[in-house]
Structure 1
Amino acid sequence: MSISQILTLTALATGAVAQLKSCSNNGTLSCQSSSKAPTCCYNYPGGALLQTQFWDSDPSTGPSDSWTIHGLWPDNCDGTYQSSCDSSRAYTNISAILKEQNRDDLLSYMDTYWVNNDGSNEEFWEHEWSKHGTCINTIKPSCYNNYTPQEEVGDFFQQVVDLFKNLDTYQALSSAGITPDDSKTYELSDIQSALSKLHGGLEPYVGCEDDSLDQVYYFFNVAGNAIDGQYVPAAPLEKSNCPSSGIKYSPKSSN
């Protein structure tokens, strides 16, 4: 991988600073080590981390000129994944946790860009944390110095938002002349090419529903833990379900 393909995304900490145990060897990338032992510095088995995004047009969610957040998912480096890994940490008070950690700005951002099209935002965040966040082994409570309850929850949501801010799907497509339009259709190769410019030259996964663009997954391998580590773009572990041509990109409907 050339240096231009390596993208380091540093957390833009707006809340508490993570107190994760330091990693002396951050050079070992997840999914690329012969060792299969999970540690607080090596993401395993969920070594591929996916920053996933929605384009919800009807019913619409979020600003008309932005995609919205789906989540951050650990994948077992082969397209399979674990889910709901720790029922004891399946918290149902995400907003209260973030407020307690003085992450009000984060919570406000999530209410705009991490939104549910069928239920409350709180339910969506609880689902994403319980199903995916609890399966990221490098943010378990045991990986913290002087751990305080739910500390990893705020770190998880902050990291997802920071990754999302560096992956402006709407702008990348718009710069390539790919904009929401009821009368136009687009080529899959053009969409993938436009988005690869955000992702170290590697195409993300592009998902469709009824031939309409609706999801994007950016795959990463990580050196170090999932909060302080270096995120390196990786190739997708699944093929797009979109047609090669005739892809619709519908404008968001009026709320």
Structure 2
Amino acid sequence: MKLLVLIFLSHLLMVHSQETEDIKGYMYVFAQEWPGSICKFQKCTKTYMGNYDNARWNTHGLWPNTMLATSCGFISNCRDETYDESKLTVATKTLIDVTWNGMYSDTLTFRKHEWEKHGTCHPDNLTQNGYMSKVGNLNNQYNYYKILASAGIYPDNSRELTDAEFRAPFTKTLGISTAMTYTCQKDSSTGKFYIAEVRTCFTQAMKARTCDCSKPISAFVTCGKSFYYPTFQLSNDYVSYVEELADEVSGIFQNFANEIMNILF
């Protein structure tokens, strides 16, 4: 009888140990989006682009995952802590105003979503400032624009890229060819594919690991045999709006100046 009890207890300890190891094991997916493609399909505005410098990809997020067998999974909403941008230092706010913006939607709402869904699950239990700073610095460390430029790949509306061409500079930077995956947006009228998002995968120690999930997120699709890396520009609708607004403001000031001149003279 004692032997059976010992065997049972031993089994429970093994199960508990395995569960503990599973909980401690993390990986990360770091996602960035190319504004040139995103803003081709969305109406991006200067307000939502923040201080974006046109020399990087925009951060989508850093997503902790405990399901180590696949990079498709993630954990979410791990603790109840509402995002409060007043908790960020000036340095962190300055950093993410360049690296992490909403592009076509409210930036504060976007960052709030990423923090509350993913940042609260970071295994180091980072503060809001710690998490946002970490992700902002990752954008600098893994600057996809510079990685591609190192191989002579720059935004170009006429150049078609293949998987081999696009993957090579990431392989050189990350050390393995399987540490990144990417998805596109497709122009339904032309059938052309435009690179939209690249995800790089890391172990808990932030070493490159296989990024084995090719499932595209909502609005994105698997890229064709060739695709484009287009130049970035704000939507024509927005540019027209700004020009019209400038003309309207100029007219208001001109009328005001004329009235003042009439009163004085």
Partner of 1:206: 182
Q: Which amino acid aligns with 1:123?
A: T
Structure 2: segments with no counterpart, 5+ residues: 1-16, 187-192, 216-221, 240-265
Partner of 2:28: 49
Give per-residue Cα distances to partners, 1:153-193, cap 9 Å, x unaligned.
11111111222211011111112122111111100121111
Distance in 2, matches of 1:196 and 1:43, equals 28
- 2:166 matched to 1:175? no
Asked whether the equivalents of residues 174 and 208 of structure 2 are also in contact (C-alpha less than 8 Å), the reply is: yes
Distance in 2, matches of 1:38 and 1:108, equals 38
Distance in 2, matches of 1:82 and 1:74, equals 6
Partner of 1:26: none
TM-score, length basis structure 1 = 0.69
Partner of 1:30: none
Distance in 2, matches of 1:235 and 1:36, equals 23
SS of 1:125's equivalent in the other structure is helix
- 2:66 matched to 1:83? no
- 2:225 matched to 1:237? no
Deviation at 1:50, TM superposition (A): 1.2
Give per-residue Cα distances to partners, 1:43-89, cap 9 Å, x unaligned.
44xx2201111102224543222111111101222222222233x21
Compared with structure 1, are the counterparts of its residues 43 and 114 closer, same or farther at alpha carbon in structure 2 (3 Å cutoff)?
farther
Higher relative contact order (CA 8 A, sep 6+): 1
Partner of 1:216: 198
Asked whether the equivalents of residues 28 and 202 of structure 2 are also in contact (C-alpha less than 8 Å), the reply is: yes
- Between the two proteins, the alignment pairs up a number of residues equal to 192
Q: Which amino acid aligns with 2:197?
A: Q
Compared with structure 1, are the counterparts of its residues 43 and 217 closer, same or farther at alpha carbon in structure 2 (3 Å cutoff)?
farther
From the CA coordinates, give the structure whose radius of gyration is larger.
Answer: 2
Asked whether the equivalents of residues 72 and 160 of structure 1 are also in contact (C-alpha less than 8 Å), the reply is: yes
Compared with structure 1, are the counterparts of its residues 108 and 38 closer, same or farther at alpha carbon in structure 2 (3 Å cutoff)?
farther
TM-score, length basis structure 2 = 0.66
Worse overlay, 231-240 or 167-176: 231-240
SS of 1:212's equivalent in the other structure is strand
Output the aligned Cα RMSD.
2.2
Question: 1:1-255 alignment to 2 at 5 Å?
Answer: 35-37=18-20, 43-44=24-25, 47-57=26-36, 58=39, 59-60=43-44, 61=49, 62-75=52-65, 76-77=67-68, 78=70, 79-86=72-79, 88-89=80-81, 91-93=82-84, 95-98=85-88, 103-136=89-122, 138-140=123-125, 152-203=127-178, 204-210=180-186, 211-222=193-204, 230-239=205-214, 241-245=222-226, 247-254=227-234
Deviation at 1:202, TM superposition (A): 3.3
Distance in 2, matches of 1:152 and 1:109, equals 16
SS of 1:183's equivalent in the other structure is strand
Distance in 1, matches of 2:73 and 2:60, equals 18
SS of 2:170's equivalent in the other structure is helix
